[in-house]
Amino acid sequence: MSGHRCPWPGCQRWVTASQWGCRDHWFALPPTLRRAIGRAYREGLRQGIHPSDLYWRCHRAAIAYAKEASHGRD
């Protein structure tokens, strides 16, 4: 299976290559970030260039949000 670990800090769950993160952490992101990631992912696939620069920018924004959201919960 092709996949990766959920990028949420401290999460050890594995997800498929087509998923940003595990279900719990995907839905922990604000809807605006989820929509942006989804659009960037699909656009990259249509162009045959995945991951696109736009996708990586959205991904980094989601990681920053996750780090801020989980700060102090360790």
Interval 9-34: pLDDT, tens: 999 999 988 889 999 999 999 999 99
Contact 52, 31 (CB under 8 A): no
Q: For the chain, how many structural domains are there in total?
A: 1
4 bridge partner residues: 15
**Model pLDDT, residue 74:** 47
Q: Is the pLDDT of residue 1 over 60?
A: no
pLDDT tens digits, one per residue of 35-44: 999 988 876 6
Q: Is the pLDDT of residue 49 over 80?
A: no
Question: What rounded mean pLDDT belongs to the chain?
Answer: 87
Predicted TM-score (pTM) of the model is 0.82
Domain enclosing residue 44, as ranges: 3-70
